[in-house]
């Protein structure tokens, strides 16, 4: 039965775990397979063609595993390749983009800051998204080179990460931003530090929860929901992990961010 199959979720590294957690909370009875393409991390400073190739490789792996849906838990990869994946696969493919729509609706000052990778902000998809909301608010885009690498090192609140974030956030604060979009799935892991720097008056918008609800909607629409938990289900066994990177390096951080042992499988593609 197709609804018994897993949902494949991937990112360049551990960032997509911030989305996976929302999917697990929203759909606790679904099988999930998370792939961190850590051997090719970060995507944000790579060419469009390379990111596209990596997305196709991960998607081919999910297809081989007979996944019933795929989630591109990465803004950069979505911008580069989601249209190809949708054209190639006959299953729901859910991508993500910086949450400009809710942020513009939420901002009272009408000044919204967007933190994202260079790959996302340089993409055609993002240009179109920005154009759509540019009349409704002042949108200030801040690429964050180096931040994903800090997070992948596990430096979630080191002095280096703090000063890097300070240099990205100060200009936005000076321009009167009252709403901040986390346009990369890695950034929720430094949200507490961002909160410390910007204070309580700026709203921080993340897309993880909205994506989880979209996954649920797509599964419902396609009649692919797995039936609710059975007594035989071991909840932690429903979520599996893999990485193209070095297991010894990836595993500690993956397990730390997930909050329990992840024992990722070594993936070679
Ligand atoms: N987490 C990814 C995103 O949402 C990309 C990070 C990277 O590899 O640069 O954009």
Q: What is the pLDDT of residues 77-91, one digit of tens each?
A: 999 999 999 999 999
Q: Per the structure block, which two tokens stand in for 100? A: 């400009």
**DSSP H stretches of helix in the chain:** 17-26, 48-64, 75-88, 100-106, 118-121, 124-133, 147-152, 159-174, 191-198, 208-221, 247-258
Which amino acids are annotated catalytic? 74, 184
pLDDT band at residue 229, thresholds of 50, 70 and 90?
low
Residue in the block written with tokens 């991390």: 41
The pLDDT assigned to 232 comes to 67
CB 36 within 8 A of CB 244: yes
Pocket residue to mutate for ligand 1, from 77, 99, 152, 244, most atoms within 8 A of Cβ: 77
Q: Which CATH architecture has domain 100-206?
A: 3-Layer(aba) Sandwich (3.40)
100-206 and 2-96+209-266 share a CATH fold? yes
Distance 153 CA to ligand 1 centre (A): 14
The pLDDT assigned to 3 comes to 87
CB 6 within 8 A of CB 69: no
Distance 57 CA to ligand 1 centre (A): 17
Q: Which CATH architecture has domain 2-96+209-266?
A: 3-Layer(aba) Sandwich (3.40)
Structural domain spans, the chain: 2-96+209-266, 100-206
Pocket of ligand 1 (CB under 6 A): 11-12, 15, 41-44, 74-76, 117, 120, 148, 184-186
pLDDT band at residue 215, thresholds of 50, 70 and 90?
very high
pTM of the model: 0.96
Burial of 216 (0-12, 13-18, 19+ CB in 10 A): middle
Taking residue 18's Cβ as centre, other Cβ atoms within 10 Å add up to 24
């Amino acid at each position: 039965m197709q609804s018994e199959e897993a949902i494949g979720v991937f990112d360049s590294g551990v960032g997509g775990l911030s989305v996976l957690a929302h999917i697990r909370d929203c759909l606790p009875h679904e099988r999930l397979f998370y792939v961190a393409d850590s051997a090719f991390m970060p995507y944000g400073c790579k060419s469009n063609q390379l990111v596209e190739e990596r997305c196709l490789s991960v998607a081919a792996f999910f297809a081989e595993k007979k996944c019933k849906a795929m989630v591109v838990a990465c803004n950069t990869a979505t911008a580069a390749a989601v249209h190809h994946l949708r054209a190639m696969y006959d299953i729901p493919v859910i991508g993500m983009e910086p949450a400009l729509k809710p942020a513009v609706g939420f901002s009272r000052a009408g000044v919204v800051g967007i933190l994202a990778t260079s790959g996302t902000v340089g993409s055609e998809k993002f240009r179109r998204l920005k154009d759509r909301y540019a009349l409704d608010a002042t949108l200030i885009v801040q690429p964050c080179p180096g931040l994903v690498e800090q997070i992948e090192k596990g430096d979630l609140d080191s002095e280096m990460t703090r000063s890097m974030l300070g240099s990205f956030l100060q200009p936005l604060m000076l321009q009167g931003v009252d709403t901040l979009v986390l346009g990369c799935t890695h950034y929720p892991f430094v949200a507490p530090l961002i909160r410390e720097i910007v204070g309580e008056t700026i709203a921080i918008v993340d897309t993880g929860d909205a994506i989880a609800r979209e996954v649920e909607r797509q599964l419902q629409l396609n009649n692919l929901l797995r039936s609710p938990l059975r007594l035989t289900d071991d909840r932690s066994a429903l979520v599996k992990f893999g990485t193209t990177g070095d297991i010894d390096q990836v595993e500690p951080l993956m397990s730390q961010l997930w909050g329990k042992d992840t024992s990722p499988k070594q993936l070679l593609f």
